[in-house]
Amino acid sequence: DGGITQSPKYLFRKEGQNVTLSCEQNLNHDAMYWYRQDPGQGLRLIYYSQIVNDFQKGDIAEGYSVSREKKESFPLTVTSAQKNPTAFYLCASSMTPDPTPPQHFGDGTRLSIL
Amino acid sequence: RKEVEQDPGPFNVPEGATVAFNCTYSNSASQSFFWYRQDCRKEPKLLMSVYSSGNEDGRFTAQLNRASQYISLLIRDSKLSDSATYLCVDPTGTASKLTFGTGTRLQVTL
């Protein structure tokens, strides 16, 4: 089955630690996205990538970094500079980078501070 | 004013009822929107799109009112399985302009 796989499902971060969230898709989609969702809030865009080896900052990129070395993979690193990382992180993809919402989401990673 | 606003609810309705909720938007140039459904602690899933002509899919009807700048989602004959949070999305512009509402929670009860 085609889809988006995020791992791990739950992640705990210690103070001062960088952690990386994995996102893999086998849909052959060009565009990939990372969102953050806090309780009672909508999804906020962290980073997006429209093509391999290219990515752009979203609305809340500070404290995060990404890479897009392969079409199917778009890992997100939450750095120690992100002071409030506890949230639900969602990766998504869409077939094209047109102004169309992501059609497919992964099932998310819940990140918490130890 | 927020770019996309939704009443957070919850809307508590009995099974079989008809329920509707709205989403207001601020970008007058927006011509299409999307509704997503998100179950508790799960990822959002695309429910339906809505353009100026509206959209109907089974028990679900979405309408766009450009004059008053809101979209609506109507659910007829509510089922217990309809219980979820419904997010509206304004896709206007580039990816960085995608705007999600905070969602409206629907709880269908026996």
- Give the sign of the dihedral formed by CA B63, CA B67, CA B70, CA B74: negative
Residue in chain B nearest A49 by alpha carbon: B95
pLDDT of residue A61: 96
Looking at this protein, which amino acid is placed at residue A51? I
Q: How confident is the model at residue A99 (pLDDT cuts 50, 70, 90)?
A: low
Residue in chain A nearest B104 by alpha carbon: A40
B→A contacts (Cβ < 8 Å), by residue, are 4, 8, 34, 36, 41-46, 87, 89, 91-103
CB contact under 8 A, B91 and A100: yes
What is the share, in percent, of chain A residues with pLDDT greater than 70?
Answer: 96
**Taking the C-alpha atoms of B55, B56, B59 and B64 in order, what is their torsion angle to the nearest 10 degrees?**
30
Distance CA B35, CA B37 (A): 7
DSSP states of B16-84:
T--EEEEEEE--TT---EEEEEE-TTS-EEEEEEE-TT-EEETTEEEEEETTTTEEEEEE-S--GGG-E
Distance CA A53, CA A71 (A): 9
Residue range A45-61: mean pLDDT, rounded: 93
Residue range A73-102: mean pLDDT, rounded: 88
Of B8, B89, B96, the CB nearest to A101: B89
A107 contacts chain B (CB < 8 A): yes
CB contact under 8 A, A56 and B95: yes
The separation between CA A61 and the C-alpha centre of its own chain, rounded to angstroms, equals 11
3-class secondary-structure state, position B95:
helix
Query: Residues of B with CB below 8 A from A111's CB?
Result: none
Residue in chain B nearest A10 by alpha carbon: B41
3-class secondary-structure state, position A102:
coil
Distance CA B34, CA A41 (A): 17
Q: How confident is the model at residue B1 (pLDDT cuts 50, 70, 90)?
A: low
Exposure b/e, B63-86, CB count within 10 A at least 16 = b? bbeeeeebbbbebeebeeebbbbb
Give strand pairing partners of A100. Answer: none
CB contact under 8 A, B101 and A42: yes
Query: What is each CA distance from A41 to A36, B8, B67, B76, B88, in whole angstroms?
Result: 9, 9, 27, 27, 12
3-class secondary-structure state, position A24:
strand
| CA atoms within 13 A of residue A41's CA, in its CB half-sphere | 11
* pLDDT over 70 (residue B95): no
Question: Which of B45, B100, B105 is most worth mutating to test chain A (most A CB atoms within 10 A of its CB)?
Answer: B100
Residue range A39-58: mean pLDDT, rounded: 91
B40-93 residue pLDDT tens: 989 999 999 998 888 999 999 999 999 999 999 999 999 999 999 999 998 876
